[in-house]
Chain A
Amino acid sequence: MIGEDAEAPGPGHVLALPPGMERGTLTRLRPTARPWAETSWLAVGVITVVMLGLPWALTRVDGGNYITHLIITFFVWGIVAQCWNLIMGVSGIYSFGQLALFQVGAFTTGVLSFAVGLNPWGSIWAAPIVAVIAALVIGLPTLRLRGIYVVLLTLAFHELLRNWITTGPQWISGGGYGLVRVPKLGFEAVLGPQYEKVFYYYTGLVFFGLATYAIWRILNSPIGLAFTALRDSEDYATSRGVDPFRFKLFLFAFSAFFTGLAGGFSAHYNGSASTSLFDFGVMINLLVMIVLGGWGTFAGPIVGTAILTFLTELLRAFDLYRILALGIAMAVIAVAAPEGLVPLCTRAFHRLFDVFFEPDEPPARETADQPNPETRSTPRDG
């Protein structure tokens, strides 16, 4: 039996159980290390039902079509923001190439379906594959370096790609503006054009759900722990046997896959692959989504994307001041709340309401030799 726990294990710590407590297994993951076991299936079920029913409800509402469009936009940028957050926030690679990878996906499927004439449903799958290849090509020289080198090389990749696509041959540049007649996915034929957006909504939802689930599992897997370790102290993580280069390359390719998919989907949904998406403003918008919601957290980029997507529409009248406001918001967050809104609000919520509710979760310091919650002696911290 270990004494009154010598050292509070961090989240994700694996504890050995004392003899007699094994129940057939030698080790047990702490609750924080296996969040899937704690998922409230009721909440997931409710969200799923609402998300599935929402577009049909919106077709009955005035202006609902437009809201559906906003939600689809949210799906697209939500995927990209989550992927970028995985690179920037979780593993600390200061890569500015995510938007370029998005464009790789958009132009790949755009060229294949428009210029080559493939079926959009086939060519959309080329988008993530080419994006992954592009990510490996950038990643191989870049990811062995750090900090400013990565910023420079990824920005350079962005600039080069923009340069090449805007000045390239007609079948890719479309004369400088991009491809303006990318075939759509053909949903208007199913139930008529008024229900077209509903199907795009479902396609977007599937892609968004896939990406979110995959990222959630990655974050809570040993791979996710390795990334956190690499971000917090690369030297220490390396000395414990984490190969930074291989993990970073894997992460780069992984996030490129979904980013490219989002790019491909967006190209077919909008019917165009536009060179104006290379603009610095788009990149800043994405970055603010991540920073506002919570840099390096799971829910942060999703919340940030939702806020920005809908706020941009509400503030359309003040569009001139939008970028200025984004910049100021970013500066305030960087100085006053560097971890972002989601952790800030969660903590504020706990501070406000923990007085009224007895916490029903096990205390953070529960250890293996105190298996029974009734006998715990350590007070809940905070």
Chain B
Amino acid sequence: MAIPDALDRLLQALYSGVLNGSVYGLMAIGLTLIWGSLRMLNLAHGALYIAGAYVAYGVLALGLPVPLTFGVAVGGAALIGLVVQVVLITPILENPGRDSASLIATLAASIVVQSAILLLFGGQTKQLPPLIDGGFTIGTTLISYQGLVVVGAAVVCLLLMSVFLHVSRRGLAIRAISQNMDAAKLMGIPIVPTFVVVMVTSAGLAGLAGVLLGSILFFTPSGGFTPMLMAMVVTIFGGLGSVTGTIWAAYIIGLMESFLAVYVGASWALPGIFLFMIVMLVIRPNGLFGLGEARRL
């Protein structure tokens, strides 16, 4: 199909922007949940993302069907999240120096996971097979079915997450804790189990992002770092702890990145976003949808 050049570039930017945004959304929603309720920055998030991709890669050798493999991978990432939470985070919850201790603990977890992956799988780049093979082209833009699966899965997960937080008892507990932990404690909300739920959910979502993107891009053991950085950008841009804001911000940042890459040059995408970030933090320190301390999630 022949379409004008300008439209072609626009389409290219839109497609990769929405794709990026979906993955950032999946990553960032986990970060923002943890930040909102546990008040801690989870530096292991990138490692969980890449762990999802590698678990899928490892399980694939067993010969299971691809969708089942992806399910196992999400479960694997969630399991790692559970272990990190129970072994590292729960013991230090009551410590006075919790901020720095949790920063170190999650960084340690990310190092352990990454180097374990390196020892198990080696440092070569890997790729996963797609859920659905093939795709179609509009102009020169190749739109793969896997890309559409990623976008669809992300949108469904984000919507489910929103419903979970606003309807289910556990979700309400998470929101209550993030609004005021002491009051939530006094109302009889079990803090520690709720934190475990938050961590497992967010780890599962990170693993899902890793699996989905692993069949589009190549990955290496240290490949979780840049997505985590972008997820942090999204989290902050959307306003820390605000789920709706995070979803909007994910797509805005994703689109901005791809538009910068297409129209200005690929090497300007990251610097441009960081510059934008700095300017925004100076103008609106609470983020796009930041609600300050009073209302979160």
Q: Which chain A residues have a beta carbon within 8 Å of chain B's beta carbons?
A: 88-89, 92, 94, 141, 145, 147-149, 151-153, 155-156, 159-160, 163, 167, 280, 284, 287, 291, 295, 320-321, 323-324, 326-328, 330-331, 333-335, 338
Contact = CB atoms under 8 A, between A and B. Distances in A.
B281 interface: yes
A159 B226 CA distance: 9
Contacts of B232: 148, 151-152, 155
B229 interface: yes
A147 B99 contact: yes
Interface of B: 35, 41, 87-88, 91-92, 95, 97, 99-105, 107-112, 114-116, 118-119, 222, 225-226, 229, 232-233, 235-236, 240, 267, 270-271, 274, 277-278, 281-282, 285
Nearest to A295: B100
A335 B240 contact: no
Interface centre among A145, A151, A155, A327 (most CB of B within 10 A): A327
Contact of A334 (B104, B115, B226, B274): B104
| B-side interface mostly | helix
A163 B267 contact: yes
Contacts of A152: 229, 232-233, 236, 277
A159 B104 contact: no
Contact of A333 (B87, B104, B277): B104
Contact of B112 (A89, A153, A327): A327
A321 B103 CA distance: 23
Contact of A159 (B115, B116, B236, B270): B270
Given A156-B274, A334-B104, A323 B88 contact: no
A149 B281 contact: yes
A302 B267 CA distance: 39
A323 B110 CA distance: 11
A287 B107 contact: yes
A343 to B, nearest CB: 12
A54 B213 CA distance: 55
Given A151-B41, A280-B222, 13 more contacts: A89-B100, A92-B99, A94-B103, A147-B99, A149-B281, A151-B232, A153-B274, A287-B104, A323-B111, A323-B115, A324-B111, A327-B111, A338-B92
Given A92-B100, A147-B99, A151-B41, A156 B277 contact: yes
Contacts of B103: 94, 151
A368 B58 CA distance: 69
Nearest to B100: A295
